[in-house]
């Protein structure tokens, strides 16, 4: 992997002028973002602002076409990498709507994914027994019943179980940057506490988190260092944790694209 040109304490992820579209629909219109190791960033904003699109573009989903901009991950051109290479480099996406995969066992799927990442990194693969011990340990972080390991991936899981399974996958794969796309969506308060506790248990000085959310309530359980507001395909405002409190009071009406003067506020 290329050396990190930002030096010690520099950027893990650097997004510059990122533009992306689906067919003829331009969604991202110049996103700029810098995330450093150990930081937790949250992206908030109204529906249709581009939050989930940004997450998908970073993960390499082929639904989107990147039309301009640059993204580097530890100094390496992220956009030049296939999705599996991004995963091997240390990027993880927790889905807003986790996919059901009938007929594929949950632990079989995850062991295959982990060993693919380990092979790409030149590390020794885990055998079945070692992986099972690791999986049982990580399941405890999100209070996931071991019986879910033998069930098909997300098939028949409740919304809360699907989200806990996403955090469980993150715990096993141990990414450098985890992007959690509305991990709080559809969760009741008890499930949210469990999921948030699992995420917090995985925070480290060399791991960063990017949370995509509509609501402040997630940030009451997972403290963010930086809050960004997206509107019209851009980050129009950034600030500290107090920005989430302001959004709770004011909503997003002020963030219309007609207010470009807000783009640098709090940056």
On the question of pLDDT at 80 being above 70, the answer is: yes
What is the C-alpha to C-alpha distance for residues 167 and 15, in angstroms, rounded to an integer?
A: 25
CATH code for position 124:
3.40.50.300
- Asked, for residue 82, whether it belongs to a domain, the answer is yes
Question: Percentage of the chain surpassing pLDDT 90?
Answer: 63
- What is the DSSP code string of 174-223? --SEEEEESTTTT--HHHHHHHHHHHHHT--TT-EEEEE-S-GGGGGTS-
- Asked, for residue 51, whether it belongs to a domain, the answer is yes
Distances (CA, A) of 127 to 121, 130, 160: 17, 6, 29
On the question of pLDDT at 137 being above 50, the answer is: yes
Mean pLDDT of 144-156: 84
User: How would residue 95 be classed by pLDDT, with cut points 50, 70 and 90?
Assistant: confident
Mean pLDDT of 210-239: 93
pLDDT, tens only, 13-63: 999 999 999 988 999 999 999 999 999 999 999 888 899 999 999 999 889
Mean pLDDT of 164-186: 92
pLDDT of residue 256: 57
- Asked, for residue 2, whether it belongs to a domain, the answer is no
Q: How many domains does the chain have?
A: 1
First to last CA, the chain: 30
- Asked, for residue 84, whether it belongs to a domain, the answer is yes
- Asked, for residue 199, whether it belongs to a domain, the answer is yes
Domain that holds residue 38: 13-262
On the question of pLDDT at 6 being above 50, the answer is: no
The least confident of 191-195, 213-217, 218-222 is: 213-217
DSSP symbol at 121: T
What is the C-alpha to C-alpha distance for residues 212 and 78, in angstroms, rounded to an integer?
A: 20
Of 16, 166, 24, 3, the C-alpha closest to 96 is 166
Tally of CB atoms within 10 A around 156: 11
What is the C-alpha to C-alpha distance for residues 85 and 90, in angstroms, rounded to an integer?
A: 9
What is the C-alpha to C-alpha distance for residues 22 and 20, in angstroms, rounded to an integer?
A: 7
- Asked, for residue 85, whether it belongs to a domain, the answer is yes
């Amino acid at each position: 992997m290329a050396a990190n040109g930002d030096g010690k304490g520099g950027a893990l992820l650097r997004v510059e002028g990122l533009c992306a579209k689906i067919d003829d629909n331009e969604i991202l219109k110049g996103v700029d973002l810098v995330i450093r190791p150990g930081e937790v960033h949250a992206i908030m904003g109204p529906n249709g602002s581009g939050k989930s699109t940004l997450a998908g573009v970073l993960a390499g989903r082929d639904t989107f076409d990147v039309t301009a901009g640059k993204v580097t991950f530890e100094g390496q051109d992220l956009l030049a990498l296939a999705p599996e290479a991004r995963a091997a480099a240390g990027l993880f996406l927790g889905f807003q709507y986790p996919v059901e995969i009938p007929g594929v066992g949950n632990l079989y799927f995850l062991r295959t994914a982990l060993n693919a990442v380990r092979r790409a990194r030149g590390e020794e693969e885990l055998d079945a027994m070692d992986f099972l011990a690791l999986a049982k340990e990580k399941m405890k972080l999100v209070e996931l019943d071991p019986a879910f390991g033998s069930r098909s991936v997300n098939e028949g899981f409740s919304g809360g179980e699907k989200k806990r399974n996403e955090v469980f996958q993150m715990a096993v794969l141990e990414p450098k940057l985890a992007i959690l796309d509305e991990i709080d969506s559809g969760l009741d308060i008890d499930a949210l506490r469990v999921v948030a506790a699992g995420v917090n248990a995985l925070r480290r000085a060399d791991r960063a988190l990017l949370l995509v959310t509509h609501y402040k309530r997630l940030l009451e359980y997972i403290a963010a260092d930086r809050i960004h507001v997206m509107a019209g395909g851009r980050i129009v405002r950034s600030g500290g944790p107090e920005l989430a409190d302001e959004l709770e009071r004011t909503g997003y009406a002020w963030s219309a694209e007609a207010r470009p003067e807000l783009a640098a506020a709090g940056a």
